[in-house]
């Protein structure tokens, strides 16, 4: 088969079985977000490139290596969205929403990054996320983490996940820490990876996030952020930890956690698992008080998180994602029955009953297909049933079979 008729590398077709799992995860996230007072927002799949290039940071791997950038026919530089937060921040500014604070947004949809395809990572991937705008209290961080925890519990994977948390402090603390890192890493510059040498000039905190083995060894001796936090930053982080402890959410401190994007301040966190190999992060986020201001909007405190559906789907217990809705199979035993089965199926669907209709094939094969699909009942129509205005009902679970009038069927109570 020609390559042009296959999926592009790093993309995939979501066939019904996997789509059902995606739907289960997304609907679980949406329901939890609604419980916390969030409203849904949907931003465009592509934006002006500056929305992402200026906000994510020129030293981030996303901007340096992974964005899908293109020039449209009008000469505009555009980028397919690699994450959700920057687009929400842009919408907050362009839609003039600053008078409506506080605001809570939930989003879901496809994102795009040109990275090496591997387990749980795709070039077109799907993400869900939340953004809470307008609160500068550590309690907003606590509630954001609680929402993430409740969501992970609702899809059956919280017990397999560990909350790792750190603080990046405020601007004053970051500046002091940055100076300490520059001094330290400058002593090891010859041993740093090429990427980290570039980060040393622009954002040395990103070196702490390096996946290079040589960089990791150097990082073990790097100054610790806790030593450079001012009183304000320490108090804020203490408030966050106290809050999540009060809610009984288990966590561990990770002083090397910095996250991959440049807009984070104060709290950063990840939920990780051992079940996905090296790519163990399933949900991550933090506070980004300076992002909207850096885009030309008013200073707006904000905190949020994002999670990849592709990874989450690999972890969800299959039995949780299986839909258990009532399914009725309508089966025509002959030509007359098949013609009438279309009408009966239409009537059942109008009542909100999920119905599968088999329009050709032998009676035995139809029954086998219905059973394989997991149908709870079969409604059988033949010439006799059509003439007598009746229908034969078979309960697959009990094996019982009976005949009732079509009139009685309108009020028949199907049970599963």
How far from the centroid of its chain's Cα atoms is residue 289's Cα? 22
User: Does 85 show up as a binding residue in the annotation?
Assistant: yes
Instruction: Say if residue 84 carries a ligand binding annotation.
Output: yes
Is 135 annotated as belonging to a binding site?
no
- Is 406 marked within a binding site? no
**Paired sense of beta strands 46-48 and 77-80, if any:** antiparallel
Asked if the peptide bond before residue 102 counts as cis, ω within 30 degrees of 0, the response is: yes
**379, 328 contact by CB (below 8 A):** yes
Residues 357 and 345 sit within 8 Å (Cβ to Cβ): yes
DSSP result, 297-345: S----EEEEEEEHHHHHHHS-HHHHS----EEEEEESSHHHHHHHHHHH
Task: Tell me: is residue 127 an annotated ligand-binding position.
Answer: yes
Q: Yes or no: say if 243 and 163 are a contact pair by the CB < 8 Å rule.
A: no
Q: CA dist 38 to 103, 222, 337, 375, Å?
A: 8, 40, 49, 36
83 is in an annotated binding site: yes
Number of neighbouring beta carbons within 10 Å of residue 239? 15
> How is residue 155 annotated by DSSP?
T
> Distance between CA 177 and CA 70 in Å, rounded?
37
Burial (CB < 10 A; 0-12, 13-18, 19+), residue 87, is: buried
CB of 392 closer than 8 Å to CB of 366: no
Q: Is 160 annotated as a binding residue?
A: no
For 294, counting Cβ atoms within 10 Å of its Cβ (0-12 exposed, 13-18 middle, 19+ buried), the class is middle
Q: What is the DSSP string of 65-88?
A: II--EEE-TT--EEEE-S-SHHHH
Q: Which residues are part of a known binding site for L-histidine?
A: 83-85, 113, 127, 131, 259, 263-264
Q: Which residues are part of a known binding site?
A: 83-85, 113, 127, 131, 259, 263-264
């Amino acid at each position: 088969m020609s390559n042009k008729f296959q999926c592009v590398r790093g993309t995939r077709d979501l066939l019904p079985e996997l789509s059902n799992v995606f739907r289960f995860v997304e609907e679980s996230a949406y329901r939890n977000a609604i419980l916390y007072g969030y409203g849904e927002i949907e931003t465009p799949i592509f934006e002006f490139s500056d929305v992402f290039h200026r906000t994510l940071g020129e030293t981030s791997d996303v901007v340096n290596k992974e964005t899908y950038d293109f020039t449209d026919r009008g000469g505009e530089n555009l980028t397919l969205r690699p994450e959700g937060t920057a687009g929400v921040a842009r919408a907050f500014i362009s839609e003039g929403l600053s008078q409506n604070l506080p605001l809570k947004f939930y989003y879901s949809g496809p994102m795009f990054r040109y990275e090496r395809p591997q387990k749980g990572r795709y070039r077109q991937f799907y993400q869900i996320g939340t953004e809470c705008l307008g609160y500068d209290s550590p309690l907003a961080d606590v509630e954001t983490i609680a929402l993430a925890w409740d969501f992970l519990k609702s899809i059956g994977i919280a017990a397999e996940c560990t909350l790792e948390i750190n603080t990046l402090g405020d601007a004053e603390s970051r500046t002091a820490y940055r100076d300490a890192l520059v001094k330290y890493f400058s002593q090891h510059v010859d041993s740093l990876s090429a990427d980290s040498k570039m980060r040393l000039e622009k954002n040395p905190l990103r070196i702490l996030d390096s996946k290079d083995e040589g960089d990791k060894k150097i990082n073990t001796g790097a100054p610790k952020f806790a030593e450079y936090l001012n009183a304000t930053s320490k108090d804020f982080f203490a408030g966050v930890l106290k809050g999540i402890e009060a809610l009984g959410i288990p966590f561990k401190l990770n002083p090397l956690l910095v996250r991959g994007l440049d807009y984070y301040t104060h709290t950063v966190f990840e939920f990780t698992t051992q079940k996905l190999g090296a790519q163990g992060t399933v949900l991550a986020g933090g506070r980004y008080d300076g992002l909207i201001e850096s885009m030309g909007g008013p200073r707006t405190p904000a905190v949020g998180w994002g999670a990849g559906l592709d990874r989450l789907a690999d972890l969800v217990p299959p039995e949780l994602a299986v839909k258990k809705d009532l399914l009725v199979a309508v089966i025509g035993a002959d030509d007359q029955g098949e013609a009438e089965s279309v009408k009966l199926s239409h009537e059942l669907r109008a009542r909100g009953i999920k119905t599968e209709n088999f329009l050709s094939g032998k009676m035995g094969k139809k029954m086998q297909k219905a059973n394989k699909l997991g149908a709870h009942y079969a409604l059988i129509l033949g010439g006799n049933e059509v003439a007598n205005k009746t229908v034969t009902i078979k309960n697959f679970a009990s094996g019982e079979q009976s005949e009732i009038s079509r009139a009685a069927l309108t009020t028949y109570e199907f049970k599963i």
